[in-house]
Structure 1
Amino acid sequence: MTGHGDRAFLEEMLAPLGGVALRRMFGGLGLFRDGLMFGLVARDVLYFKAAPDETAAFAAEGGAPFSYATRDGRTTTIASYWRAPERLNDDPEEFLLWARRACAAAEGADRVKPAGRRKARVV
């Protein structure tokens, strides 16, 4: 794996955020901060969590929402995770900006969940 899909690359790029954990999930990686998933890597492609009002920014960069094929041949799209722009590989500051926005999107999504389904906050 290289670039966005490389675990060492991601750990280095995300280190300034603090509190980030990368966990193996379904043959890829889940990106978590303070217990909330803000990104995922599938098939060596990085997807960031996007708030509904930010999806246009991802689309403008050529991104698309995360999708996968199911056993019955259907494609399932998870519209809250969008492909991160490849150009972020070469710009650590911009990478962090997009990662911070993904963290904020994850926090916002968690806030609107019913109280019993919210993640416990680590302060």
Structure 2
Amino acid sequence: MTTRPITDPFVLHACELLSCLGPVKAVRMFGGYGLSVDGMNVAIIAWDTLFLKTNADTAPRWLAVGARPFRYEAKGKTMSLQYHTPPEEALESPALMAPWARLALEAAVAARKPAPRRKPASRA
């Protein structure tokens, strides 16, 4: 099975914006796109909006600049994923996006790390 090349101008622009991280792969998913670098998801595009990967450690930096979290409705509930919009000016050039792209990669790397191993329970 062959996949069709991505031709959406906004998706191509987002890939260029994140290019400081290395080659960016865009994959269609759930009516939007997932963007990955080295097999790690660093961003999603939904409703023609770019959202970058965040986590509990990095989210405060995003919120401090007015980033919007990724939220969607499912079964009558508002759900969210750990992705936020970058600042508007970051959408203008790869140089302006670079610090936010690196922050997204930091969150993706942290998500990839295996959970710490638990010590076996001691038998009394």
With the shorter chain as reference, the TM-score category is 0.7 to 0.9
Structure-2 separation of matches of 1:25 and 1:8: 15
Change (3 A) 1:33 1:114: farther
Q: Greater CA radius of gyration, 1 or 2? A: 2
Establish whether residue 19 from structure 1 lines up as the match of residue 18 from structure 2: no
Aligned to 2:110: 108
Structure 1 residues not aligned, in runs of 5+: 116-123
Instruction: Return the TM-score normalized by structure 1.
Output: 0.78
Deviation at 1:66, TM superposition (A): 0.9
Structure 2 regions of 5+ residues with no counterpart? Answer: 1-8, 118-124
Structure 2: how far apart are the matches of 1:97 and 1:114? 28
| Equivalent in 39, 46, 54 of residue 42 of structure 1 | 46
Q: TM-score, normalised to structure 2's length?
A: 0.77
Structure with the bigger percentage of helix:
1
Question: Following TM superposition, by how much is the alpha carbon of 1:96 offset from its aligned partner in structure 2, in angstroms?
Answer: 1.7
**2: distance between equivalents of 1:73 and 1:88?**
33
Moved more, 32-41 or 92-101: 92-101
Cα root mean square deviation, aligned = 2.0
How far does residue 52 in structure 1 lie from its aligned partner after superposition?
1.5
Aligned counterpart for 1:9 among listed residues 13, 17, 23: 13
1:75-94 residue pairs with structure 2 within 5 A?
Answer: 75-78=78-81, 80-94=82-96
Structure 1 position 105, deviation (Å)? 0.9
Quote the residue 2:76 is aligned against.
73
Please give the secondary structure, in 2, of the residue aligned with 1:62: coil
Helix, strand or coil at the partner of 2:59: helix
Q: How far 1:83 moved relative to its partner?
A: 1.6
Matched with 1:58 is: 62
Q: 2:36 aligns with which of 32, 35, 44?
A: 32
Q: Which amino acid aligns with 1:77?
A: S
